[in-house]
Chains A and B, each alone.
Chain A
């Protein structure tokens, strides 16, 4: 199958290049139709290149400035991430067909291409190049909203992602100076300074706890299409990087467990449904990070499978909320309700995304999440396993119920809008179809995983697993209906919940402003003292040496000339006699 596609002349070309070059070409194409055609064609070209390598290996090696850059490492791990990035780029291109924004088209393609480039990077320098390119290109998808809040969120987003890149480069340089290696592989470790800095760089992009606020800050403020595009690449690239470099690092198990649990509480009370999805994204990343931390074949398969299906169903949920935002003008839960009467197809697609992320049997989340949970339990991490089961119920709460319920059902607010545009519906249909396809024909997913033998050995559709999962979901849904019935599920309110970002957006910002103001005052006070001393000294000098000063008044100028000559003579004498 793979050999049938093999084109020797293109064997060295990474799938990233057509997508990035397509983005650059789009920048100079004023014609909207041509740009959109290009956005659809480049993922197809990338797919051809993805199929092209005859065997796993490192291709596209470039010698540059004494460095060896590996631009196309094709192995089971990069293969599955590359494929889902290409699928996401194609679906996103369809979703954005209505959007007439040349900058968004350009940056959307460059961003997707940079994500692919990073996934296929075989060394840390190549990774750094694409890592930074994802940051720089993606910020335009936030700024594309063209409002002040988006502009400021974009700046914060850019700052932290550039910091991530700087840490990556610093870590890589330190590591290279110690070991002489630029390899981006399993030899990375957090026990060395370089390795730890690289880990931190990956952690920022992966939205580790306390480093996560950029995600909830920026994604909800991005453009409608931008949020969908952003949801696919950055964070999953970070999970890939962790899986590549730090698989089996124990601390990731605990970091991941915290990531699955804490966003649940924030998502419950969040009114902005795109922000709910951003918290939900954090929670889902947690499952993947736990899988990477456990590091067994089954666990890494779980992380890869989860990343694959998550990209699709999370995009589907963001797409459905994007359609609501386009038609209604808001995604505030407090303003929505009853939209299934106006947007029935969008509602159905949203429900499919919700069922997938909640891991209902027959949907993709069910077959993916099961791998990670099984691996965690098999390795004896019982407490972590309980946390993950709690987080699974939490996912159902915020993404499975809250998103579709408040947007499309709950209280009918009398919103009568048009159904989403055809291109959005097609994109949502494709994503929804994939959610079902991989949920039912899970073998297609499992055989693409990094360790297909281990995956195919695992059977997700056992009687026990189905019964257990249905118990969990129905128990949680029963709780929801009960809480609503007894008024214990509070109405959504227009509000803002501060998170850890308060520490730098309010406290840190305030502290810096206070320090700045104090520095201003100190500078002014020092200036005043210097001026006062200067004025006083100047006055005294003036009194002494000015034409009307004391020296001019009392001492004849001839006498002053004599004294000056005498002093000069003394100086000359000293200079002459000095050894």
Chain B
């Protein structure tokens, strides 16, 4: 995050972007947790009052998509970083360092 007060004096910032410098503010990162959390819960709560009709019966359980989306995202990130990266991650010049590949 950059210093917003410094940004205001930064002449190289595009004029169109100036009204949106708050997007870079540190408070926004914390606020987004609440915004998305509340919205996700709100949409999940709709299931309490309305029965969704789905082709797959299990998808009709309360808040199915919300928790499936949450779990899928976490699984993708965890498996990616702690599975793929751990076992298949190499230094950046992995291919280029080969004498026959430069």
A contacts, CB < 8 Å to B:
148-149, 152, 264-269, 271, 338, 340-345, 374, 377-378, 382, 385-386, 389-390, 392-394, 396-397, 409, 411-412, 414, 416, 419, 463-464, 467-485, 488-490, 494-499, 505, 509, 513
What distance in Å separates the Cβ of B90 from its nearest Cβ neighbour in chain A? Answer: 5
Q: How far is the CA of A498 from the CA of B90 in the complex (A)?
A: 7
What distance in Å separates the Cβ of B37 from its nearest Cβ neighbour in chain A? Answer: 5
Q: How far is the CA of A482 from the CA of B92 in the complex (A)?
A: 29
Given A468-B52, A497-B88, 17 other A-B contacts at CB below 8 A?
A: A338-B2, A342-B12, A374-B55, A390-B72, A390-B75, A397-B77, A411-B1, A472-B66, A473-B69, A476-B70, A478-B40, A479-B74, A482-B33, A484-B29, A488-B78, A495-B90, A495-B92
Q: Which of A152, A269, A509 contacts B85 (CB 8 A)?
A: A269
What distance in Å separates the Cβ of B100 from its nearest Cβ neighbour in chain A? Answer: 8
B3-15 CB contact bits vs A (8 Å, 1 = yes)? 0000100101110
Contact A338 B88 (CB under 8 A): no
B contacts, CB < 8 Å to A:
1-2, 7, 10, 12-14, 16-17, 20-21, 23-24, 29-30, 32-33, 36-37, 39-40, 43-44, 46-47, 50, 52-56, 58-59, 63-81, 83-85, 88-96, 100-102
- Could you jot down 29 A-B contacts, CB within 8 Å? A148-B102, A265-B76, A265-B83, A338-B24, A340-B20, A340-B23, A341-B14, A344-B14, A344-B20, A345-B16, A374-B55, A377-B54, A393-B68, A464-B53, A470-B39, A471-B43, A472-B65, A475-B67, A475-B69, A477-B36, A478-B39, A478-B70, A479-B74, A480-B36, A481-B29, A483-B74, A485-B29, A498-B88, A498-B90
Q: How far is the CA of A490 from the CA of B1 in the complex (A)?
A: 16
Contact A269 B68 (CB under 8 A): no
Contact B95 A496 (CB under 8 A): yes
Contact A268 B76 (CB under 8 A): yes
Residues of A within 8 A of B20 (CB): 340, 344
Q: Is the interface of B mostly helix, strand, loop or mixed?
A: helix
Contact A481 B89 (CB under 8 A): no
Contact B23 A409 (CB under 8 A): yes
Q: Is the interface of A mostly helix, strand, loop or mixed?
A: helix
Closest to A470 in B: B43
Contact A474 B81 (CB under 8 A): no
Contact B14 A464 (CB under 8 A): no
Contacts A382-B56, A478-B40, A483-B77: A389 and B68 contacting too (C-beta < 8 A)?
Answer: yes
Contact A393 B13 (CB under 8 A): no
Q: Which of B29, B68, B90 contacts A496 (CB 8 A)?
A: B90
Closest to B58 in A: A382
Contacts A476-B70, A479-B70: A265 and B65 contacting too (C-beta < 8 A)?
Answer: no
Minimum-distance CB pairs A-B, first 5: A268-B80, A475-B69, A377-B55, A416-B12, A471-B65
Contact B43 A464 (CB under 8 A): no
